[in-house]
Structure 1
Amino acid sequence: MKKILVLFLSLQSLLSFSQVESPYKTDLLTDGAFIAGVTGINALGLVIIKNKDSLSLEKFNNLNKNDVWSFDRWSAGYNDDKASKTSDLPLIASLAVPFLFTLDKNTRQHAGQLSVMYVESVGLSLAVFTMTAGLVEKSRPRIYSDELSDEIRRSNDNQRSFFSGHVGAASASTFFAAQVYSDFYPNSKAKPYIWAGAAILPAVVGYYRVKGGNHFTSDVIVGYLVGAASGILVPRMHRKKETNLKIAPEIGFGYQGIGVNYTF
């Protein structure tokens, strides 16, 4: 009985040593206030978007593609409903990427903490988007298309091209995943491929948003940068501060214990 108890305690000790410490620190009060804040900003932004004015008849009658910035002018008049709907597929894939951490035993142990940070990253990107889309008046490329009725072209929904919320949410999600992976596995040889994947998925979303006539190229670029910044900065802001004192489990031939190391 005594041997069984010793074996059980030894196995329990080994399992506890296998727990990988999170590189992040979260706080109930601070993170709760942050999430509440971005939620409130998003709610306000959505109200502003809903009450946004339609394009005035005077401005509509004076529409001219030549007035569009030359960098964006080439896509003025794009209107592809199929491409617009297709953009939802890479968006969904992007938003699902962080959930892959539940498949890894090291990150799965900290699923609750990572979930909070993920909500903060995407929430921050969307907060910037909703307020900007609500306050900035910029028509979508599709309003230059003669295929649509005047009523649709003038609608308030088509007056919020700046910037792309789809791309912002997608890049916030994928860059968040890439940053978290890099922080948990700083020496991984897979990091270049992880970051490449994080960059490609939102770009695919952006391609279809432009092709669909939802946004100009500049709108996609800004959304991409806002989302990427949110996805990268939130994990970095939660990083634990470096300390000279390091305590780690040690397992060797015939012994197990805790190692203490202090760097001067």
Structure 2
Amino acid sequence: MKKILLSFFCISLFFSSYAQESPYKTSAWKDGAIITGAVGLNVLGFTFIQNKEALTEAEVAALNKNDIAGINRWAAGNYSEKADAISYIPFYAALGMPLVFLPSEAERKNFGQISVLFVETMAVTGVFYTMTAGLIDKSRPLVYNENLPFGERAEGGAQRSFIAGHTAVATAGTFFAAKVFNDFHPDSKAIPYVWGGATGISVLMGYLRTKAGKHFLTDNIAGFVVGAASGILIPELHKKGNERLDLYPTATYNLNGTGINTKGLALSYKF
């Protein structure tokens, strides 16, 4: 995923100077800072994910489906290698969404700018995913499947059900594409179908990840919300005429001035 996003970012640097007739306004310094800050937070989040501890034998034995909320309980024990494999098709397709704009002249002329917005969208989506998956301990549905080997149920990677990363990425990619199409072609009769297709792909991803035993329903709902928000808001924040809305990287410093305590992204609105 990181290699794909890096490729789009490099391509965008080459094409960005040719942007014209675009509904968006971008800034190399500002957007570069946002992407850099988001990538830094992603690295931190992945560190949390990699350091997740496995469950003990006693902890696995103590798991009980009846302790799960009713909205999620029906998925406990799900497991499907086939569904897991199929889910990577829309996942990688979402990462290549900017390519769908190449046939259109208006978008092609602004491909570099669109790529910058796409990288920013995925980077912000990644922050929400890596931080929640890394800091929140929640067993995947497959952990409740007693037919699976103990090691597969107990491993640290099986304890990051929230949020659904695949669903967040698929939704961010498809909703980003729908939003960009909407903004470049506001009078197109195809707009309802484009948004419908984006929603359909996102729902399909959620279904596949639940069937695979990777995430519960609420995990997928959270992933959908994060992906949809990123896919819509990042382009919207860059629309010409929306200067009152602003997204920027932030950092806080400790009182004795020895270094940075926290860093992240902030959204502001000027009245």
If the TM-score is normalised by the length of the shorter chain, which range does it land in?
0.7 to 0.9
2:66 matches 1:66: yes
Q: Secondary structure at the residue paired with 1:103? A: coil
* Matched residue type, 2:26: T
* Matched residue type, 1:143: V
Deviation at 1:133, TM superposition (A): 0.1
2:55 matches 1:55: yes
CA contact (8 A) 1:168 1:223 kept: yes
CA contact (8 A) 2:22 2:110 kept: yes
CA contact (8 A) 1:94 1:201 kept: no
Deviation at 1:20, TM superposition (A): 5.8
CA gap 1:146/1:58 in 2 versus in 1, 3 angstroms: closer
Quote the residue 1:14 is aligned against. Answer: none
CA contact (8 A) 1:180 1:235 kept: yes
Could you list the runs of 5+ residues in structure 2 that have no partner in the other structure?
1-18, 244-271
Quote the residue 1:6 is aligned against. Answer: none
Give the Cα separation in 2 of the matches to 1:54 and 1:213. Answer: 17
2:152 matches 1:146: no
* Matched residue type, 1:222: A
Q: How does 1:24-173 map to 2 (within 5 A)?
A: 24-173=24-173
Deviation at 1:142, TM superposition (A): 0.3
Give the Cα separation in 2 of the matches to 1:242 and 1:155. Answer: 46
Give the Cα separation in 1 of the matches to 2:47 and 2:210. Answer: 25
Percent identity of paired positions between Structure 1 and Structure 2:
45
**Under a length normalisation based on structure 2, what TM-score does the superposition of the two structures give?**
0.80
Q: Secondary structure at the residue paired with 1:235? A: helix
CA gap 1:121/1:242 in 2 versus in 1, 3 angstroms: closer
Deviation at 1:242, TM superposition (A): 7.1
Q: Deviations over 1:170-195 (max 9, x none)?
A: 11011011111111111111110010
Quote the residue 1:209 is aligned against. Answer: 209
CA gap 1:130/1:242 in 2 versus in 1, 3 angstroms: closer
Quote the residue 1:187 is aligned against. Answer: 187
CA contact (8 A) 1:94 1:202 kept: no
Q: Deviations over 1:57-76 (max 9, x none)?
A: 33222111101111000010
**Under a length normalisation based on structure 1, what TM-score does the superposition of the two structures give?**
0.82
* Matched residue type, 1:240: K
Spell out structure 1 runs of 4+ moving beyond 3 A. none
Give the Cα separation in 1 of the matches to 2:53 and 2:154. Answer: 9
Deviation at 1:98, TM superposition (A): 2.6
Quote the residue 2:236 is aligned against. Answer: 236
Give the Cα separation in 2 of the matches to 1:207 and 1:92. Answer: 17
CA contact (8 A) 2:23 2:240 kept: yes
Q: Secondary structure at the residue paired with 2:22? A: coil
CA contact (8 A) 1:173 1:231 kept: yes
CA contact (8 A) 1:91 1:202 kept: no
* Matched residue type, 1:73: R
- Please say which of residues 195-204 and 95-104 is displaced more in the overlay: 95-104
Deviation at 1:82, TM superposition (A): 1.0
